[in-house]
Structure 1
Amino acid sequence: MSEPTVSRRGFLGVAGAASVAATASPALHAAPGPRPSGQLRIGVVGGGFGNTFFWHLDPDCKVVAVCDLLPEKQKLLAERYRCTNTYKNFREFLKHPDLDAVAVFTPAPLHAFMAVEAMKAGKHVISAVPAGLSVEELEEILDTVKKTGLRYMMAETSYYRQPVITCRELAGEGKFGTIFHSEAEYHHEGLMKVMFDDRGLPTWRHGLPPMLYPTHCTGLIIPVIRERMLEVTAVGWGDGHEVLRTNQYKNPFWNETAFFKTSKGHSARVAVYWHVAAAGSERGQFYGDRMSYLMERPEGTQNTFVRISSQGKTVLDSNGYPEGETEMLADKKANYLERLPEPLRVKSGHGDSHTFLTHEFVRAVLEDRHPTVNVWEAIAYTLPGIIAHQSALRGGESLKIRDYGQAPA
């Protein structure tokens, strides 16, 4: 990329170059006020992905119990979170005294069931993605939240990826103008290795429909555009591989591409691919009439702001036609970690999002408020993929997507 022709201040139209990094998001505060007394006492179930979070570093949280079927994973959780109370049985785990909340990081088909059971047992819940694998599961989670009054959060990492924080805040300031089209892609070649366990038996990932795992894409788009996805047509591709002919989901597709219409009549494209000749990526791009943003690609391009020349300049294309000259500016990553308590200012997975998810859930429970990715947002991120998969199975039929609303103020 050539050197930028404008300053960051001039390009973004902000008061100062540092203001983007300094502007606090609605649920994270650079200088939080007085905290409620006490700590959130949490239990973690699932020693795989559940071992990658930072509950033990948050000053307002203490891990009081961990749970996994496998002794070696119990040990990993106990060591990670400095906890001596280990369980193999989930129901016994839920009975642990003084347990306020549960972090569910088990295989995807268990997420909804365990979240509902934990809330029925009086525990707040943070769950790995996806929230559920069917409309019925999502509705059961929502109904349980409403009946119990407990807090539920889906740990969608895309919400706190650093470029998404930037785009969320600039969109809120109107810097994009109208975002009329958004795109997101989740490319993950190589999953065949985790479709079978050490015994050669199928795991939950064996043949999982790509659009039942949509939130690394929808979780990029929806928080930025602040719209719901209300209609979809989708296309799937598969090659008749044994996995696609024998999986429990009856899914014939390696890859699925969905085109959505949003609540404001705008468009969004989501592509989730399990088998593709491309490097792994979780990225998005947002096209506005005043500014656009392109997240970095694995081929080496940077996170980039783009806009038409502020000088009104035009250039001639290869056919001699005039076109607006573009100005591009590389996004120098802001240090959003400074918004977190000092012990949590560490590098973490999925674009440094894990510490943000950790702290947001803790603060939401202690402050008795809905977290950022609450149950209504979780449904808004998850449901479009479920309906998109139905569309793909029907050959691209256009289907409506129900809007379950927003969290109450």
Structure 2
Amino acid sequence: MNRRDFMRAGISGLALAAFGPAYTSRATAQKNVRIGMIGTGNRGGYLTGLLSKFPEVSIPAVCDLLPEAAGRAAETVEKSGRPRPEIYAGDEYAYRNLLIRDDLDAVVIATPWDWHAPMAVEAMRAGKRVGVEVPAAVSVAECWDLVRAEQETGKSCMMLENWSFRDDNLAVLNMIRAGLLGDILHCQCAYAHYCAGYWAFDADGNDRWPAKFLEKYNRDQYPTHGLGPVLSWLDINCGDVFESLTATATASLGLNAYFRRKFGPDHPNATRRFAQGDIVTSVLRTRKGKTVVVTYDINLPRPYDNQWLVQGTLGVYSHEHNAVMIEGKTGDRHDWSPFDPWLEEYRHPWWKTMGAEALQHGHGGADYIEMRLFVNALVEDAPFPLDLIDGVTMSAVVGLSEQSIAAGGTPVPFPDFTGGAWETRKPTFGMVPR
């Protein structure tokens, strides 16, 4: 048996032994899971529809500041053949009336960012397990609030970072665990997504809720899509830990330029002062001397790109090139080798079992895989596939990058949310104990 065959056999064995029953695609009938939805706008409305696809899920209650958004979500649930959920709407704190219900096992939170952590903390303290959209927190203090709430209540919280569940990223994880890239030393990732015309502002140039963050803050506002897979690739919080972060930002020119192009020089936003630099570059260093470059870039014209790159002692993976170079396994050291054959060979068991169904849903199937596993964990009263420590680690980059930029790019310490347990914690993402 050559090395490649050995690795193939090893991964197959791993699939059978370590990616066990808690994380398969079956729709279990052991119990009905009752989920309340908090925030039912674009993302929350979509998640309401996706959760309605799972037969073991009921949705007794939905909540949104806007009654029309909550009403649309209620109609989605009703059209799925379930009873129409009770609606909580019209007030910023209407969600508290949802949280006091005794017929909910969990809540899913998909509100503006600054509500994520406070709502998740209150939900855990109300006895509910939580799925919260990204980022889970917008300050280091909020990260610690989440950790304390989970520890004190015993109710777990999962940040819903869907890019951790992508087909390609999970295959790369399998390749790393099989040793194909050697010891990993460096990763790059990004949220590079031209959002000027539809995300923080609508098509007519009016503010949507993210606009206030761009006006007030200069930081990496949205680090988790890039960092999600990187944490598992580097065994962060389970063998290594981030130790420091340095961040720098460019000038803020992109949004003013966009408004001048689209609406003319007299539009208020053509001269409005935005604190947010157009590109933020953060460099994270781990205790074991590994580095991660995280880029935030949403205000300048460009195609979407997550810019993942993994560099190890035996080779490199590049998402941009959709290719690898692995010493002794691919061609000349100056040439890239297509990634697709490696994706097929090292496809994660989640995608082998759920991929066909997943591809019928959003974000290339990652949403389905993520929420299927979230529901399975609720049904089986099992740990979530992504734990809260990983969620707050990704989210802490928001507040830490702001601190570093404000201090002229000075390194800032990265909190150890494991309390020192990273030295003995074992990796769990993508596997279950044997």
Partner-residue secondary structure (3-state), 2:189: strand
1:25 to 1:50, Cα distance in 2 relative to 1, 3 A: farther
SS of the equivalent of 1:194 reads coil
Identity %: 24
Match of 1:51 among 21, 40, 45: 45
Counterparts of 1:17 and 1:145, CA distance in 2: 36
1:119 correspondence with 2:124 = yes
Q: Deviations over 1:171-222 (max 9, x none)?
A: 2222211111110011122335433468945623430545132101111311
One of 146, 152, 158 as aligned partner of 2:163? 158
Q: Which amino acid aligns with 2:225?
A: H
Superposed CA deviations along residues 290-349 of structure 1, whole A, max 9, x for unmatched, are 232111x4xxx4x222223449x86xxxxxxxxx4546133255575443498x544333
What is the match of residue 262 of structure 2? none
Q: 1:304 aligns with which of 323, 335, 352?
A: 323
Give structure 2 stretches of 5+ with no counterpart.
257-267, 427-434
1:353 corresponds to which residue?
A: 366
Query: Structure 1 residue 99: deviation in Å?
Result: 1.0
Of 194-203 and 181-190, the range deviating more from structure 2: 194-203
The answer to whether the 8 A contact 2:323-2:336 is kept is no
For the 8 Å contact 1:290–1:308, the answer to whether it is kept is: yes
Match of 1:225 in 2: 234
TM-score, normalised with respect to structure 1: 0.82
Are the aligned partners of 1:210 and 1:273 in contact in 2 as well (CA < 8 Å)?
A: no
- CA RMSD in angstroms comes to 3.3
Partner of 1:38 in structure 2?
31
Alpha-carbon spacing, 1:373–1:191, altered in 2? closer, same or farther (3 Å): farther
**Deviation digits for residues 208-258 of structure 1, max 9, x if unmatched?**
5451321011113111111232212111012365879967xx834222001
**Separation in structure 1 between the aligned mates of residue 188 and residue 9 of structure 2, nearest angstrom:** 29
Q: Secondary structure at the match of 1:347?
A: coil
Shift, 1:100, TM fit: 1.0
Match of 1:84 in 2: 84
Please say if residues 117 and 137 of structure 2, whose CA atoms lie closer than 8 Å, have aligned partners that are also in contact. yes
Q: Is residue 108 of structure 2 the alignment partner of residue 103 of structure 1?
A: yes
Post-superposition offset of 1:115 = 0.7
Check 1:27–1:372 CA distance in 2 against 1; reply closer, same or farther (3 A cut): farther
SS in 1 for 2:282: strand
Q: Give the 3 Å change call, closer, same or farther, for CA 195–15 of structure 1 in structure 2.
A: closer
Per the alignment, residue 209 of structure 2 pairs with 203
Q: Distance in 2 between matches of 1:65 and 1:73?
A: 13
Bigger mean CA offset, 72-81 vs 352-361: 72-81
Contact 2:190–2:308 under 8 Å retained in 1: yes
More helix as a share of residues? 2
SS at the partner of 1:15?
A: helix
Q: Superposition pairs for residues 8-407 of structure 1, below 5 Å?
A: 14-15=7-8, 19=12, 26=19, 37-47=30-40, 48-53=42-47, 54-82=50-78, 83-85=83-85, 86-88=87-89, 89-196=94-201, 200-201=206-207, 203-206=209-212, 207=214, 209-227=218-236, 228-239=241-252, 241=256, 251-295=275-319, 297=320, 301=321, 303-310=322-329, 324-326=333-335, 328-332=337-341, 333-334=343-344, 336-340=350-354, 345-405=358-418
